[in-house]
Structure 1
């Protein structure tokens, strides 16, 4: 999500500066690639790049293709075949061993529902969303509809710019599937040679990190979470510590009693709490409030395990039932075992643990994995042999 914030910010600046621009989107990948479908890059007519569609190897050629799209004011699908390591057509050996399809869309700032404006709607409010991008893999002469459909789940807002091709009901059906899967996928629309590939892109809300504690050890934690694009709220009862000046990267800084914290934050399944005030009573009161509310997914408690066991004991003495389900979501001592000592190292350890919990991962070394690193739920589109031969001829034409 952070990349999208940066793109929308650059978009607004480009409008203010009177620049023309295009959006490059990785829409389909066959094999291995540094960036996966959904990666985006905004290109202005003076060559400024915001975001990334590769590890840097495609950006130079992508700039030229984006400028062409801007000049012609026409969507273009460009294919990069990196499977041949000896191929120097692009001037570099990409070594990704995959075929990457990138859609270039010129942006008309006067159009209220251009692709970047649709992304802005996704970011406007904390809710899940689905964006559908349509393109033709089988014909370079066919119209490339591009980013043309948006569904915001909570507000139930629908924007359909491709209504001349498909009605909203047909596309809403696919967005419903994306919500059910909580993931993105590909769908082939149409028949015969008029087939279009749809990238049904699911956007989840960014993680929300609520940190109880405005001490010095919280500062690197806030800054690192902000780098990840997470929403960060710092809460503390001390007016002198909980200030925006101390935490400029925080989304919110709130001075409040521990008992009132749950009333000041929105809690969902992507909200994570950290107890790090170094004030036992404050942490205890917040833990009590969260257990009574019983809606949390993760609570990380700084300090030794004995401290947490003492908290359990005191809460049980008050008649508060702490179930095994509660305890399975409370992590104390907080963080992954990486030998962290300094505040910065502890922040890295804590954020790594939260990221692993967020994605239901173990946190083991990638070299121990036997399956692919990236999610393979987004399988590439399959076509018949005749369709593939026609497609490969088109690819060779584009590359040469």
Structure 2
């Protein structure tokens, strides 16, 4: 996920600045089932510090042991982990362990790509047999430019290697329109998912960004000044001002956007009143815009408190974005991830 590799690169660059060597661990293939799927990563440095995990905990210790030789020799390796022989996962993991050194140009371009909300991809070259080789490694493609994750890596004999390609969309973001106490719980829960949270508050709002735990931005535009250009298909929008008039005015300001999810907090009756008032001002509005609004926002889990409501709302966002119908997993037939 984009937020995971962002966190990983940030920490790796900090370790580099302090003279620490590190290795990148990537699950590049899977035969069977596992806690996480290919593309999950973790980071290990020469002080035995670890960031992230590639499973539920059954393989990490073995990876740390295998990583020691890569830290010493700077030669990447592929290892496998057969969970069928143990009490953990029920599949075979193919894991690439490689030295990681991020150039200044790579980091600068990476940060620019994140800021511009552009997609990017990684290509990891590996073999499906346990081996050590300079030919193993990962490239990242940023803004049309290729960068190696270690300076001396130049992919050779690509036709003889297997390649795991992963595409990363822009960071998922959440715009919360409202600054009451329940916005704090929603911001916190969303930030724990790795989403970039923006709080949109009234121009007269006295609260500061620090009040909204987990939020990256607090903006206080007038309805006319609201810039909607960054609300894209990787954005969820929640209207929760607890003010009928403000929700109507924000809805009018957002009438031309098409986010991944558009939620309206409150009852069915409140939703109908807000949409009715909105249509008085914009009777020509396409029904497609109105049909994209989820109101009342959230799935029915019996949520009562602000923290529970946040879970309900974010669960609905995930289900809509990933095109899944919420259901107990014990009732699902077949693979969990299908």
- 1:4 paired residue number: 5
Find 1:157's aligned residue among 139, 144, 147: 144
SS at match of 1:217: helix
Question: Residue 101 of structure 2 corresponds to which residue in structure 1?
Answer: 108
Mapped to 1, the partners of 2:56 and 2:284 lie a distance apart of 51
**Residues 8 and 120 in structure 1, CA contact (< 8 A), matched pair in contact too:** no
1:311 paired with 2:274, answer yes
Alignment of 1:136 with 2:101, yes or no, is no
1:338 aligns to what SS in structure 2? coil
Question: For residues 258 and 135 of structure 1, do their structure 2 counterparts lie closer, same or farther at Cα, with a shift above 3 Å needed?
Answer: same
Q: Which residue of 2 aligns with 1:172?
A: none
Q: Helix, strand or coil for the counterpart of 2:131?
A: coil
What's 1:211 paired with? 176
Deviation at 1:105, TM superposition (A): 0.6
1:268 aligns with 2:232: yes
TM-score by structure 1 length?
A: 0.77
Please report how far the alpha carbon of residue 245 of structure 1 lies from its aligned counterpart in structure 2 after TM superposition.
2.2
Which of 369, 375, 381 in structure 1 is aligned with 2:332?
369
| C-alpha distance after superposition, 1:4-33 (max 9, x if no partner) | 233223213312322111111111111011
In structure 2, do the counterparts of structure 1 residues 240 and 131 end up closer, same or farther at CA, with 3 Å as the change threshold? same
> Which consecutive unaligned segments of at least 5 residues does structure 1 have?
85-92, 167-188, 376-400
Change in CA separation of 1:103 and 1:75 when aligned onto 2, cut-off 3 Å: same
Give a deviation string over 1:87-142, Cα, whole Å, max 9, x none. Answer: xxxxxx34312111111111235x5578x898767645422111111112247265
State how 1:108-127 maps to structure 2 within 5 Å: 108=101, 111-112=103-104, 123=114, 125-127=116-118
The CA distance in 2 between the partners of 1:37 and 1:117, in whole Å, is: 27
1:1-400 paired onto structure 2 within 5 Å? 1-84=2-85, 93-108=86-101, 111-112=103-104, 123=114, 125-138=116-129, 140=131, 143-148=134-139, 150-152=140-142, 156-159=143-146, 161=148, 165=156, 190=159, 195-261=160-226, 263=227, 266-291=230-255, 293-375=256-338
1:295 CA drift (Å): 2.8
**Unaligned ranges ≥5, structure 2:** none
In structure 2, relative to structure 1, the CA distance for the partners of 1:140 and 1:97 (3 Å cut) is same
SS of the equivalent of 1:277 reads coil
TM-score, normalising length: structure 2: 0.90
Q: Distance in 2 between matches of 1:30 and 1:108?
A: 30
Whole-Å separation in 1 of the counterparts to 2:8 and 2:74: 20
Give the superposition deviation at 1:207. Answer: 1.9
Please give the alpha-carbon distance, in whole angstroms, between the structure 2 residues aligned to 1:121 and 1:50.
24
CA distance in 2 between partners of 1:7 and 1:228 (Å): 15
SS in 2 for 1:46: coil
Are residues 100 and 197 of structure 1, via their aligned partners in 2, closer, same or farther at CA, if it must alter by over 3 Å? same
User: 1:147 offset after TM fit, Å?
Assistant: 0.5
> Is the 8 Å Cα contact of residues 76 and 133 (structure 2) preserved in structure 1?
no
Deviations 1:149-199 (A, max 9, x none): x334xxx42215476637xxxxxxxxxxxxxxxxxxxxxx52xxxx21100
Distance 1:64 1:158, change over 3 A: same
Q: How big is the shift at 1:294?
A: 4.4
